[in-house]
């Protein structure tokens, strides 16, 4: 019996030795694959966290205060006139604005609330106008705008690509077709304030995007006039109203520069604005506003930047205060490193 058992045992071991060795799927050891390379592993102690929050608050709060003060120093006069310039008794505003036989002249009176130092920027503001619509943004041909020899290229410009008789429109597309065409004439004490419209567009646009030898051709010759009619004797690089308008806005409420006034305006000055209410915003429930504004080193009036800095700085101060209280009420024991992940694994074993 013993020999039989021994024989069975030895036979079993012999069979086991004859079995092929299985290939291991374990990767070859290296410090790179096991993420054991030397690395910086900062330990965020309460003192470090509190110090960082205090530092961010000390930096952000003064920046926010300075930015907010600069924004509040901007003097801004905003006047909405789209409804006010519709004659009394007119119920169908859309029919009124589309009727070219009806005069669109309108007079608005503004009062300067604070002294305004030159230069004073004149903007027009449109609300609920989606210049960022995909089909609207694509409705232009940049090659045609730059090169006189490419006037016949009207790709992507439909439905304002060609006239009824097949002639190419320059500049083509819906953006140019819908060019803003209200006009403003500002008067103070029976003296007309000159509005300088030079250099109101980006220099890069004038020099590289609009050709100095490209002239308007067949523009607004379709069955429906969209906006302003361009002077066919002035090259596109000099048509700065067009260049400003062609730089489309990202949001449905936007302002575009109309011109600058290089005269100081005093508090309580009465400004008479004689305008032509030509642009149709009534078909899409839009609004039109005239804006007079000064500027500081931060630009125009915009409280958001200063408030954002103050908010972030205030939150950091609050968190620093909260962590300080927590640290004082329930301090961590000296030498207790059990909170470290690699020590937790050791203690668990």
| CB neighbourhood size of 10 (10 A) | 10
- Distance between CA atoms of 237 and 149, rounded to whole angstroms? 16
- Distance between CA atoms of 288 and 232, rounded to whole angstroms? 28
End-to-end C-alpha distance for the chain, whole angstroms: 47
Q: DSSP 3-state assignment of 231?
A: coil
Looking at residue 286, what is its pLDDT?
Answer: 92
**Is 1's pLDDT higher than 50?**
no
DSSP-derived pairing of the beta strands 270-276 and 254-261 = unpaired
**Is 224's pLDDT higher than 90?**
no
Residue 96 CA from chain centroid, whole number: 34
Are 258 and 195 in contact, with CB atoms under 8 Å apart? yes
DSSP-derived pairing of the beta strands 287-293 and 76-80 = antiparallel
| Token output for 52 | 């960082």
Are 173 and 153 in contact, with CB atoms under 8 Å apart? no
Looking at residue 17, what is its pLDDT?
Answer: 54
User: What are the residues facing 58 on neighbouring strands?
Assistant: none
In angstroms, how far apart are the furthest CA atoms of the chain? 132
Looking at residue 26, what is its pLDDT?
Answer: 74
Range with the lowest mean pLDDT among 32-36, 106-110, 337-341? 337-341
Does residue 33 or residue 59 have the better pLDDT? 59
**Is 13's pLDDT higher than 80?**
no
Are 189 and 220 in contact, with CB atoms under 8 Å apart? no
Query: What contacts 240, CB < 8 A, 6 or more positions away?
Result: 197, 198, 199, 200, 201, 206
What count of Cα atoms within 13 Å lies in the side-chain half-sphere of residue 296?
A: 15
Strands (E) across the chain are located at: 76-80, 105-111, 120-127, 183-188, 191-193, 254-261, 270-276, 287-293
**Is 285's pLDDT higher than 80?**
yes
Residue written as tokens 């992507």? 156
**Is 168's pLDDT higher than 80?**
yes
Query: Torsions phi, psi of 332, nearest 5?
Result: -80, 140
pTM over 0.85: no
- Distance between CA atoms of 129 and 137, rounded to whole angstroms? 12
- Distance between CA atoms of 82 and 104, rounded to whole angstroms? 11
């Amino acid at each position: 019996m013993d020999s039989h058992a021994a024989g069975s045992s030895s036979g079993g071991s012999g069979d086991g030795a004859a079995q092929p060795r299985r290939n291991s799927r374990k990767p070859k050891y290296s410090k790179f694959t096991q993420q054991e390379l030397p690395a910086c592993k900062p330990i965020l102690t309460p003192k470090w966290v509190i110090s960082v929050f205090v530092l961010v608050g000390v930096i952000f709060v003064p920046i926010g205060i300075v930015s907010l003060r600069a924004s509040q120093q901007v003097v801004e006069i905003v006047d909405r006139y789209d409804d006010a310039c519709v004659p009394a008794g007119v119920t169908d505003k859309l029919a009124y604005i589309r009727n070219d036989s009806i005069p669109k002249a309108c007079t608005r009176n503004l009062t300067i609330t604070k002294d305004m130092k030159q230069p004073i920027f004149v903007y027009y503001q449109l609300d609920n106008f989606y210049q960022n619509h995909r089909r609207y943004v694509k409705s232009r041909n940049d090659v045609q705008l730059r090169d006189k020899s490419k006037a016949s290229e009207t790709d992507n410009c439909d439905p304002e690509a060609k006239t009824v008789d097949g002639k190419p429109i320059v500049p083509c597309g819906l953006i140019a077709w819908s060019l803003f065409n209200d006009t403003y004439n500002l008067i103070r004490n029976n003296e007309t304030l000159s509005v300088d419209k030079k250099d109101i567009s980006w220099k890069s646009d004038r020099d590289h995007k609009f050709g100095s030898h490209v002239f308007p051709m067949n523009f607004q010759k379709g069955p429906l006039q969209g906006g302003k009619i361009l002077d066919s004797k002035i090259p596109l690089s000099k048509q700065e109203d067009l260049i400003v308008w062609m730089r489309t806005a990202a949001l449905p409420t936007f302002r575009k520069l109309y011109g600058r006034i290089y005269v100081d305006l005093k508090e309580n000055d009465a400004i008479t604005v004689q305008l032509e209410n030509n642009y149709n915003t009534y078909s899409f429930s839009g609004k039109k506003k005239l804006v007079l504004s000064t500027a500081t080193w931060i630009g125009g009036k915009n409280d958001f930047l200063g408030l954002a800095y103050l908010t972030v700085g205030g939150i950091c101060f609050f968190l620093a205060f909260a962590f300080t209280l927590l640290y004082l009420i329930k301090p961590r024991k000296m030498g207790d490193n059990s909170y470290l992940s690699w020590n937790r694994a050791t203690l668990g074993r």
